[in-house]
Structure 1
Amino acid sequence: MPFIEESDLLDLHKDIDKAQIINERLLDQIKIKNKDVRKIRLQRNILLGLTTIFLVGTLAITSFTAGLSSKKSFENQNNLIVSIDSLDAIKTRIDNLKVQNEELSLVREFYLAKAFLEKDKIYSVQIKSFVDNNLTLASEALTNTLFVKTNPFYAYSLGNFETLDEARSFRKQLVDMGFKDAFVASYQDGKRVKIEDPY
Structure 2
Amino acid sequence: MPFIEENDLLDLHKDVEKAQIINERLLDQIKYKNKDLKRIKIQRNVLLGVTTLFLIGTLAITSFTAGLSSSNRLENQNNLLVSIDSLDAIKKRIDNLKQRNEELSLVNEFYLAKKFLEKETIYSVQVKSFVDNNVTLASEALTNTLFVKTNPFYAYSLGNFETLEEARKFRQQLVDMGFKDAFVASYQDGKRVKIEDPY
Structure 2: which 5+ runs fail to align? 1-25
Aligned to 1:83: 83
Q: How far apart are 1:122 and its partner, in Å? A: 1.0
Aligned to 2:103: 103
From the superposition, tell whether residues 160 and 96 of structure 1 become closer, same or farther in structure 2 (CA, over 3 Å): same
Identity of aligned residues (%): 48
**RMSD after superposition:** 4.4
Looking at structure 2, the residues matched to 122 and 114 of structure 1 have their Cα atoms a distance apart, in angstroms, of 12
Which residue identity lines up with residue 161 of structure 1 in the other structure?
Answer: N
Looking at structure 2, the residues matched to 111 and 55 of structure 1 have their Cα atoms a distance apart, in angstroms, of 40
Matches within 5 A, 1:1-199: 34=37, 39-66=43-70, 70=71, 72-125=72-125, 137=133, 142=140, 143-147=145-149, 156=155, 158-162=157-161, 163-172=163-172, 173=174, 176-179=178-181, 183-192=183-192, 195-199=195-199
Looking at structure 2, the residues matched to 165 and 99 of structure 1 have their Cα atoms a distance apart, in angstroms, of 37
2:58, 2:83 within 8 Å by CA — same for their partners in 1? no
The TM-score normalised by the length of structure 2 is 0.56
Aligned to 1:11: none
Encode CA deviations 1:133-186: one digit per residue, 9 max, x unaligned.
xx66578x935222358xxx989462342243442245443695453xx54232
With a CA cutoff of 8 Å and minimum separation of 6, indicate the structure with the bigger relative contact order: 1
Which residue identity lines up with residue 81 of structure 1 in the other structure?
Answer: L
Which residue identity lines up with residue 59 of structure 2 in the other structure?
Answer: L
Looking at structure 1, the residues matched to 43 and 64 of structure 2 have their Cα atoms a distance apart, in angstroms, of 31
Q: How far apart are 1:48 and its partner, in Å? A: 2.3
Q: How far apart are 1:112 and its partner, in Å? A: 2.4
Looking at structure 2, the residues matched to 103 and 46 of structure 1 have their Cα atoms a distance apart, in angstroms, of 21
From the superposition, tell whether residues 126 and 94 of structure 1 become closer, same or farther in structure 2 (CA, over 3 Å): closer
From the superposition, tell whether residues 185 and 44 of structure 1 become closer, same or farther in structure 2 (CA, over 3 Å): same
Looking at structure 2, the residues matched to 183 and 78 of structure 1 have their Cα atoms a distance apart, in angstroms, of 72
Looking at structure 1, the residues matched to 134 and 52 of structure 2 have their Cα atoms a distance apart, in angstroms, of 48
Structure 1: which 5+ runs fail to align? 1-23, 130-134
Secondary structure in structure 2 of the residue aligned to 1:144: strand
1:138, 1:147 within 8 Å by CA — same for their partners in 2? no
